[in-house]
Structure 1
Amino acid sequence: MKKMFLIAAVAVLGMNSADAQVKFGVKAGPQLTNIVGDDFEDSEMKFGFNVGGYANIRFSEAFAFQPELLYSMQGTKYSGSETETILGEEVTYDYDSKVNLSYIQIPLMMKWYAYDGLNFEFGPQVGFNVAAKYDTEQTITTSEGSITEQQDGDIEDAETVDFGLNIGAGYELPMGLNFGIRYGLGLTDVVKDVDGKNSVFSLGIGYTF
């Protein structure tokens, strides 16, 4: 992963910086996030959000480099029901759980402008975890009724650094308004010794000054 970031940096530095046009912008948008892996087989997508800024370094009509700094709300959710017999009586457990992760993300995107404002992007990303929490609601039902329990807290052993890759497409209007869609897949596990990586589909609306 370090080699990937080095290659991106060398590619940028190797371009003719004298001809580069640098513009700055802000962006935000909703996203659908999940954690995928053997230990998260029953996980479902949850709604998230991202917001931040970027620098668009345009080296030619066709190519640009765009580093970004984003705050990203990610995670997953899962629900289920289990029934077991205890002393001859059926007991049902219904649960709804959420994993809530917050990152400071730094995508390093290379952009290819295929036609006019239409562009495609690809690049690595490093994220720094600033919060990792869980929230679980469990309802226990017996013949005598039901009781609901709520549990929440910090996720122990959550990894502080998350490496990933992004791919996406977008369109930029001459007035500075732009729209984009992006998919990001984590390359490292979210929690130590647990098979589960971030998976994020995001939409972005931005404005370049």
Structure 2
Amino acid sequence: MIKKLLFVVLFGAVTVSATAQEEKIRFGAKAGLNLSSITGDFTDELSMRTSFHVGALVEIPLSDKFALQPELMYSAQGAKYEFSEPGFTDESTIKLDYLNIPVMAKFYPVEGFSIQAGPQLGVLLSAKDKGEDSIGGEYDDDIKEFISSIDLGLNFGVGYQLEAGIFFEGRYNLGLTDINDENTSDDFSQRNSTIQFSVGYKF
């Protein structure tokens, strides 16, 4: 009985070791371009903000075709605002900075190319409305108290990885939760929407 148990343990250890060598866990970092906006009610005057994201990741292989990729990302999001009427103009940038934690499920239909999807938790780090109007001039308002501290979303994307460890990704984040935290926010709903293009390296 003991010999059989030792054999099973040894066989399992060899199998796990072989799998780990063939499909090893890889750590990495990435950075790239954000094209972010805010959708929903009362967003006609809002347009896309161009910014960036940067962070770290780990790819955990589940098989030769599937992997799990948790990430920890700083992401600068928000939108541009522009309003004009006779005698008054207002232009500003709504800056919403998040610590995002996506967990991506990855499917490799062919070597190097992946199709990705997964949930994302966002923690609001700061929120500012910075701009200039034709009456009061320049302003830089802290609006964090009016923005929800937690943002939930879904990511969809594709990626391609070179043998050297360099990879490229394109991703869309669909916000699921209302980002407004005002007393009157029950009357309307607004959500984050972000397109991301990334380049990174896994080692």
TM-score (norm 2): 0.84
Match of residue 149 from structure 2: 160
Unaligned runs of 5+ in 1: 1-17, 84-91, 141-147
Amino acid at match of 1:202: Q
State the distance in 1 between where 2:69 and 2:32 align: 17
State the distance in 1 between where 2:57 and 2:110 align: 22
Q: Per the alignment, in what secondary structure is the counterpart of residue 42 of structure 2?
A: helix
Amino acid at match of 2:168: F
Unaligned runs of 5+ in 2: 1-15
Match of residue 112 from structure 1: 107
Match of residue 121 from structure 1: 116
Amino acid at match of 1:153: D
Within the candidate set 76, 88, 94, 1:99 is matched to 94
Q: Per the alignment, in what secondary structure is the counterpart of residue 40 of structure 1?
A: coil
Amino acid at match of 2:125: V
Match of residue 199 from structure 1: 193
State the distance in 2 between where 1:106 and 1:74 align: 14
Match of residue 64 from structure 1: 67
Match of residue 52 from structure 2: 49
Q: Per the alignment, in what secondary structure is the counterpart of residue 61 of structure 1?
A: coil
Deviation of the 1:116 alpha carbon? 1.1
Q: How many residues align?
A: 178
Q: Per the alignment, in what secondary structure is the counterpart of residue 170 of structure 1?
A: strand
TM-score (norm 1): 0.81
CA displacement, residues 134-177 of structure 1 (integer Å, 9 cap, x when unaligned) = 0131125xxxxxxx611221113211110000000010001100
Match of residue 9 from structure 1: none
Deviation of the 1:80 alpha carbon? 2.4
Amino acid at match of 2:58: A
State the distance in 2 between where 1:132 and 1:107 align: 20
Do the aligned residues in 2 keep the contact of 1:167 with 1:182 (CA within 8 Å)? yes
Match of residue 27 from structure 1: 30
CA displacement, residues 89-129 of structure 1 (integer Å, 9 cap, x when unaligned) = xxx11110210010000000000001110111000000100
Deviation of the 1:196 alpha carbon? 1.1
State the distance in 2 between where 1:78 and 1:162 align: 21
Amino acid at match of 1:101: L
Do the aligned residues in 2 keep the contact of 1:40 with 1:195 (CA within 8 Å)? no
Amino acid at match of 2:34: Q
Q: Per the alignment, in what secondary structure is the counterpart of residue 154 of structure 2?
A: strand
Match of residue 187 from structure 1: 176
Q: Which runs of 4+ in 1 moved over 2 A?
A: 18-21
Amino acid at match of 1:152: D
Q: Per the alignment, in what secondary structure is the counterpart of residue 26 of structure 2?
A: strand
Amino acid at match of 2:36: T
Match of residue 139 from structure 2: 151
Amino acid at match of 1:134: D
- Sequence identity percentage: 41
Within the candidate set 133, 137, 160, 1:171 is matched to 160
